[in-house]
Structure 1
């Protein structure tokens, strides 16, 4: 996967908007972060702690949690080895997590 694909995936959800900068684009729903470029090869996706643990267990080659993100409700996706179906699910879950109810 690449950043453009992740962006299109995020924007396919109702209410998601692109924000951030050209160098660090991010996608939000209801002004809450869904996904953001972390560096040239990875993005972070919002995930509840239980969902994050499931993603890590089910797709260890796609998702990771560096020490600096351990206390945050986020998971890191390494784009060059990402499973598109797993990322699709993670983004959809992030959108629902972040929607204002």
Structure 2
């Protein structure tokens, strides 16, 4: 999945707006982070802690949690190896959490 595809998908969700810079865009709903591009291959996605382990177990090559994010509601999606449906699933979780 490319950063452009991420943007198109995220912006297709209700009330999601793009913010940030050209090189580090982020997508927000009601000013709450859904996802932010860390670099061209790494997308940081805010997901509920209760669902994070499930993503990591089902898609170990697609998602990770570096030590700096362990205490936060976030995962990294590795766009160069994740399937689009997996990334979209995580973005959906983030959108649901943040839209409430």
Structure 2-normalised TM-score? 0.96
Cα distance in 1 between the residues matched to 2:74 and 2:33: 10
What is aligned with 1:72?
A: 72
Unpaired runs of 5+ in structure 1?
none
Q: Distance in 1 between matches of 2:29 and 2:85?
A: 21
Q: What SS class does the counterpart of residue 82 from structure 1 fall into?
A: coil
Alignment root-mean-square deviation, CA: 0.8
Q: CA deviation at 1:88?
A: 1.0
1:39 paired with 2:39, answer yes
Unaligned segments of structure 2, at least 5 residues: none
Distance 2:8 2:94 in 1: 15
How far off its partner does 1:43 sit? 0.6
Runs of 4+ in 1 over 3 A off after TM superposition: none
CA distances 1:42-96 after superposition (whole Å, capped 9, x unpaired): 1100111121100000000110001111111000001100111111111111101
Quote the residue 1:28 is aligned against. 28
